[in-house]
Amino acid sequence: EIRLSLVGSEMCIRDRYILVGPERIFEADGVATEILKRVDGRRTLDDIVADLAANFAAEISVIRPDVEGFLSDLEEKQLVVL
């Protein structure tokens, strides 16, 4: 199982995450913040998707592609390690 971790610095301002990576700053919207709250170095992608699905009464099959895409994009920007 691969654990997800943030790279660089993170801040939470007014309940929103701001990630500071190599030559980049990313301000998370509400959905992104909910995902990033769960990226703690202990949880896997499956854990994060299951938790989001349970908390927001959503189908795993519906939200998983969005979560994967979002985290893959952050990995390309060197803000998350998958």
pLDDT tens across the length of the chain (82 residues): 445 556 556 666 667 777 777 777 788 888 998 999 898 889 999 999 999 999 999 999 999 999 999 999 988 888 888 7
For residue 82, the model assigns a pLDDT of 76
Do residues 79 and 10 lie in contact, with contact meaning Cβ atoms separated by under 8 Å? no
- Contacts of residue 45, Cβ cutoff 8 Å, sequence gap at least 6: 2, 4, 67, 68, 71, 82
Buried b (16+ CB within 10 A) or exposed e, 17-28: bbbebeeeebeb
Per-residue pLDDT, 43: 92
Instruction: Report the SS3 class of residue 81.
Output: strand
pTM for this entry? 0.80
- pLDDT of 14 reads 64
For residue 26, what pLDDT is reported? 81
Please give the pLDDT value at position 9: 61
